[in-house]
Structure 1
Amino acid sequence: MATGRELYARMRSVLEVPILNDKFWSKVPTVPADAIMVDLEDSATPTTKSLVRERVIAELGDPKHFGGRHVIVRVNNLDTLWGRADLEALAEAEGDFLVCYPKVDTAEELAEVSAILRAGRAPRGLHVMIETARAVQNLDAIAGSEGVHGLHFGYVDYASDVGSRAFDESGADLYGPANHFARAAISVAAAAHGLFLTGGSLIPEYKDLEKVERFVRVWADTGYTACIAVSPAHLPVINSVMTPSGSEVEAAREVCGSYEDAVKQGAPAAVLNGRVITLPDYRVAARLMARAAHPGDGEK
């Protein structure tokens, strides 16, 4: 069975869209995003939660507006007044989508989420947001839970939970002493369990695209496979940073070719330019080529 990382290997960018904002929602068919995240949590006020849920369910049943992209629906946590109703409604909803579950603390909590979703029409994969200190402590169990396809580091909520600064003095990276451990640990857990992994593009000066690019590049360099954009203006930056360069693709192609030739000849490894190429090297190169073979911005 394919892992979440394999299923979503070509997903680089996710645009978060508030469904009640007609100006933003009308742009969904044309934005250069690989996935659309429809939000029932942060962008919905307590008085609009039910209305947002009804609108989302209706749109899921008529997926043309999403233009063939991956669809992710972020619900409210079970500890809120709306979380269970969100999950029960999505369990019966039509369409092909992932459920994004925020502020998880334990694997037991995810088991309850999965049980609610399993009672509906079809199994739903989970994109789980790591946003609390307890979640970081329970990372391996959370990442290994049934139905989890992806993780996300919610760095602002995490900093709030820990009581630390979120950003460093430059405003283009996280505050290191408090956040670098969690960012790296989440990357390791996602890789170990074969999950796709998202960071975010939200920084204090979010209109400064040079700073946004520096911020997104750290996600890519840390092993994150995609990034959630808070603005359509961030999508070209994210797509560029998260797409392997031409030189990287050519190098990966050489690694794959050399290893495959060696295996055909019965050798356990290859030698390319004086460097030993083993199976793990081959897997890394093959995954990079899969990510590079993108059909075009905004296409699934």
Structure 2
Amino acid sequence: MSAPVRPRRSVLYMPGSNARALEKAKTIAADALILDLEDAVSPDAKATAREQVCAAITGGGYGKREMIIRINGLDTAWGKDDMEAVAKAGPDAILVPKINNGQMVKDLVAAMDAAGAPKTTALWCMMETPIGILNAQEIAAASDRQAVWVMGTNDIAKDTGAHHTPMRLPMITALGLCMLAARAYGIQILDGVYNDIKDDEGFRATCVQGLELGFDGKTLIHPSQVAPCNETFSPTEAQLETAARIVAAFEEAEREGKGVVTVDGRMIENLHVEQAKKQLALAEAVKELAAA
């Protein structure tokens, strides 16, 4: 039996130090929320943020949204305390920055177990360093507790000198290597953030590019980005109608013992049926999330 589909079209970062933002997040239609203890929190607010995000997770009120906490790296002054507290809170996932190699993944999984994280709490990994991207396959193979990779495109740009051009050609290699490794090992992968929250046209174009590259969704920095992101990463009504016809035609052909199936003049193979079923399952999961 295949695992249930979990929509991750829009994954919104929320600063863990901002109690008001954590409360507002309960009304935002993002598929998932990352309560952040790392980049969005100043050093003097780390402890307060840790308490607030753990309280938010245990207090609930976020419906069926997937809840993730991004901790500081274990090699920082806050990382071990973050892991201890967050593991006990039991979010859907713990996101860790700057994953460089497979051993880091194994150490993180061991730390999650030692801290008492529920088995249902997955590990999410930030792919954002040159050495991490070169070690993408090693990282992907390190543990099946990894559920999602998040592209840290700002750090990639910083560390490589790449520019944030409209089509992102300077970082296409990094995006592609991580995409291949993630897909090879059954890990979902999210595109990085778009920094200019006032550039609606540019944001939509980057969402479309992310979809075309194969990303499952996109990480976001502002609530205004949620709706266009959800729209882009959702199958259209026309796509869903075609998907339903493909599945129905294939099932009918199987019942009748036919070896060839065509829909709208197009030859249909197993791979097309699999893609159609994924689209239909995603649409159904989105409806369930919206109804929660």
When the two structures are superposed, what TM-score results if normalisation uses the length of structure 1? Answer: 0.89
Q: Which residue of 2 aligns with 1:195?
A: 187
Structure 2 Cα separation of the partners of residues 158 and 134 of structure 1? 10
Name which of 101, 104, 118 aligns with 2:99.
Answer: 104
**What secondary structure is seen at the aligned counterpart in 2 of 1:16?**
strand
AA paired with 2:152?
G
Q: Which residue of 2 aligns with 1:289?
A: 280
Q: Which residue of 1 aligns with 2:250?
A: 259
CA contact (8 A) 2:34 2:67 kept: yes
Structure 2 Cα separation of the partners of residues 269 and 84 of structure 1? 58
Q: Which residue of 2 aligns with 1:157?
A: 155
Q: Which residue of 1 aligns with 2:230?
A: 239
Q: Which residue of 2 aligns with 1:114?
A: 109
CA contact (8 A) 2:68 2:91 kept: no
Structure 2 Cα separation of the partners of residues 299 and 40 of structure 1? 30
Gaps of 5+ in 2: none
Q: Which residue of 2 aligns with 1:82?
A: 78
Percentage identity across paired residues of the two chains: 28
Structure 1 Cα separation of the partners of residues 105 and 172 of structure 2? 25
Structure 2 Cα separation of the partners of residues 249 and 280 of structure 1? 16
Larger RCO: Structure 1 or Structure 2 (Cα < 8 Å, ≥ 6 residues apart)?
1
AA paired with 2:113?
R
AA paired with 1:292?
A
Task: Note the aligned Cα RMSD (angstroms).
Answer: 2.0
Structure 2 Cα separation of the partners of residues 263 and 287 of structure 1? 19
Note closer, same or farther for the CA distance 1:265–1:218 as it changes in structure 2 (3 Å cut).
same
Alignment of structure 1 residues 51-62 onto 2, 5 Å: 51-62=48-59
Name which of 142, 152, 155 aligns with 2:139.
Answer: 142
AA paired with 1:153?
M
Runs of 4+ that moved beyond 6 A: none
CA contact (8 A) 1:35 1:298 kept: no
Name which of 130, 134, 137 aligns with 1:133.
Answer: 130
Gaps of 5+ in 1: none
CA contact (8 A) 1:31 1:298 kept: no
**What secondary structure is seen at the aligned counterpart in 1 of 2:189?**
strand
CA contact (8 A) 1:129 1:154 kept: yes
Residues 127-164 of structure 1 deviation map (CA, whole Å, 9 limit, x = unaligned):
11100111111112222322000111111101212232
CA contact (8 A) 2:35 2:69 kept: yes
Structure 2 Cα separation of the partners of residues 288 and 136 of structure 1? 29
Q: Which residue of 1 aligns with 2:176?
A: 184
How far off its partner does 1:275 sit?
Answer: 2.9
CA contact (8 A) 2:32 2:68 kept: yes
Structure 2 Cα separation of the partners of residues 183 and 244 of structure 1? 23
Structure 2 Cα separation of the partners of residues 127 and 181 of structure 1? 21
